[in-house]
Structure 1
């Protein structure tokens, strides 16, 4: 069981769809989990009447959803929705946060496009995955990358594991049984009501996806799971520099 986990998402609600069940399972076991949302989600929603306050609304939705999953440490990078790119400005912010929190596991959206359901692969999602991947190797563990961070007391840090969510199904190699946390996950997703005009349809589809994940992962019938692509970054099996 990890001690600390840092989760990245492009928009408010992304990580609730991808990993809220696993996160709730971890926090129930005493794991410290932090969220970083890269954009303000200002291009989301369906109601013209919400446009003026959409940033504040989505931040509030994410905070409430996070609390349901046992998370109170939230960070927002305030990038514009639809324009996220792997610039050095955002990579530096990502490295800084990793060095501050020093997580055992980093969760991120996947940098590869999923052709089976392209909605998983919003350009901001892909950018989030690319930003986190570039930050994890080599920047966060290289003391000469962004030297101002070292001067500020943020020493280089080697992340052990990177878990991706929301990527191509063929990449998924780890399945977490969240049967006891399905309702928590769905409660968290429902809080993002500004993004879901058909909550009943969303609920049914998420439940079905979770059961399909469990079947792919070899879990017993009737179980539900979240699926991840787990990559070892600094483990006993990895070799620095190769």
Structure 2
């Protein structure tokens, strides 16, 4: 018997999604975000780098500008208008108090109930080694969700402490616990990834639209057997 996934909590209004690179949220999670914004929920993005080291054929200064534009366009597809960048250096993001402080400060500004991030584990599925940036940012997000509520930790941030984070949801986890039905958000999830056209064209010879559809629909339908036959995006949910 395949373990069934629980539905994500729905008694919240504000979320903040925090990831290392432009495009990290578009590999599946954006379909859930489209579903949430359709329901009237507020979702903001915080991207720790500009992804400037992600396109081999473009120098970092040019690539960073391109990838920022693509991320803003991608966010708009799923109803997100607030997209912030922290300008940590792509590829060499370091876990530590500086990163935790930047993320805690953003949590205090946005005051989310739900924080979303990406897999901080060593591997994807036990087969592919995860990148240092993903590991550093995911771990820092989990820690900063607590830092943000403690007035004695990083007391010099502009915004007041926020102890209202109720959950941290990790996308791309090898051991998910919850899922979101993305029947209504799936097409926009595909289109949001297509907006990263320059990145995809440097990554693969496959047509960007075919590439995005194959991945996003494939992921969502693969989960369906664990979620009542419905296409879904999965999360490992940590309660606070």
Q: TM-score, normalization: structure 2?
A: 0.87
Instruction: Indicate the residue corresponding to 2:236 in structure 1.
Output: 229
**Structure 1 unaligned spans of 5+:** 234-242
**Mapped contact 2:190–2:212 kept (Cα < 8 A):** no
CA distance in 1, matches of 2:181, 2:52: 33
Partner of 1:240: none
Structure 1 residue ranges (4+ consecutive) displaced by more than 3 angstroms after TM superposition: 49-52, 117-120
- Aligned residue for 2:7? none
Distance in 2 (CA, whole Å) between partners of 1:122 and 1:53 is 22
Say which of 29, 38, 48 aligns to 1:38.
Answer: 48
Change over 3 Å in CA distance of 1:182–1:213 after alignment to 2: same
* Corresponding position of 1:207: 217
- Give the alignment partner of residue 162 of structure 1, picking from 168, 192, 197: 168
- Deviation track 1:106-128 (CA, whole Å, cap 9, x = no partner) reads 00112212342655722211111
Cα RMSD over matched residues?
1.7
1:40-79 alignment, distance < 5 Å: 40-46=50-56, 48-49=57-58, 51-79=60-88
Distance 1:117 1:72, change over 3 A: farther
Aligned to 2:101: 92
SS in 2 for 1:93: helix
- Give the number of the structure with larger relative contact order, counting CA–CA contacts within 8 Å between residues 6 or more apart: 2
Q: Which has the higher helix share?
A: 1
SS in 2 for 1:84: coil
Deviation string 1:183-228 (CA, Å, 9 cap, x unpaired) is: 100100011012213222442133112101122x2322xx311010
Confirm or deny that 1:147 pairs with 2:155. Answer: yes
Cross-structure match for 2:29? 19
What is the CA–CA distance in structure 1 between the aligned matches of 2:31 and 2:13, rounded to whole Å? Answer: 17
Distance (whole Å) between structure 2 residues aligned to residue 174 and residue 35 of structure 1: 21
Q: Is the 8 A contact 1:120 1:167 kept in 2?
A: no
- Report the count of equivalent residues: 224
1:124 maps to what in 2?
Answer: 133
The 1:59–1:115 alpha-carbon spacing in structure 2 relative to 1, beyond 3 Å, is closer
The gaps in structure 2 that reach 5 residues or longer are 1-9
TM-score (ref. length: structure 1): 0.87
